[in-house]
Amino acid sequence: MKKFLIVILLVCANIGFAQKYSDHYYKRKALFEKEADTKNEIIFLGNSITEGGDWKALFPNKNVVNRGISGDVTDGILYRLDEVTASKPSKVFLLIGTNDMARGRSVDYVLENTEKIILQIKNQSENTIIYLQSILPINPNVGQKFSGHKNNHQKIIEANKRLKALAKTHQIKYINLHKAMRNGKKHIKPKYTYDGLHLSETGYIKWKKVISKYIN
């Protein structure tokens, strides 16, 4: 009986300390926290689409910082946002939400958490300029993976309409990457993606072209 109770306690302890996010998330978060803060940082904040960008190569003369984590969601951004605001960055380019919806979260949920992110950045670093970027389009005809993301075509369009309104409410700049990268069906153009979700090198060059005027 005693051994049985010990096993039960161990199981409960393991459940209590279960990770909410991936190993990759916690490794990246720990790496970010070890890095020294610098002046006038321009932070790219988001998920794998942001993490995949070689921002230092794209903007070699700027103090750009990559704070993308593959698989991240709005909750994950909120959980690590203190590190982002600690340096009092000059600018933050936020792109988040597609993973939330792929995991069954509603558009309302994405909008509510995105607003929390905006407000927290403003509260913790009042001079930081925030750029809210639209969620990127998907393309169901490119690649065989990420069906959970590719099923959210209409939800992404709806979310972006509301993100634009949210940006206006909080007097921050909304950047419509969706419009810049989509085709006539409002899917991401094949040349900008290699799997229907993530960006190709050409996609990142297009992203750079859209935001360059806000970086400089």
Q: What residue ranges define each of the domains in the chain, with the CATH number in brackets?
A: 39-215 (3.40.50.1110)
Tens digits of residue pLDDT in 172-205: 999 999 999 999 999 999 999 999 999 999 999 9
pLDDT at position 207 over 80: yes
H or E element at residue 51: helix 48-51
Whether the per-residue pLDDT at 25 is higher than 80: the answer is: yes
Name the pLDDT band for 19 (thresholds 50, 70, 90). Answer: confident
Angle between helix 107-124 and helix 153-169 axes, rounded to 10 deg: 30
pLDDT of 105-153, one tens digit each? 999 999 999 999 999 999 999 999 999 999 999 999 999 999 999 999 9
Sheet with 91-95, strands from edge to edge, namely 64-68, 42-46, 91-95, 129-133, 173-175
3-state helix, strand, coil in the chain (%, to 5): 55, 10, 35
pLDDT at position 1 over 70? no
- Among the residue ranges 8-22, 96-110, 124-138, 145-159, the one predicted with the least confidence is 8-22
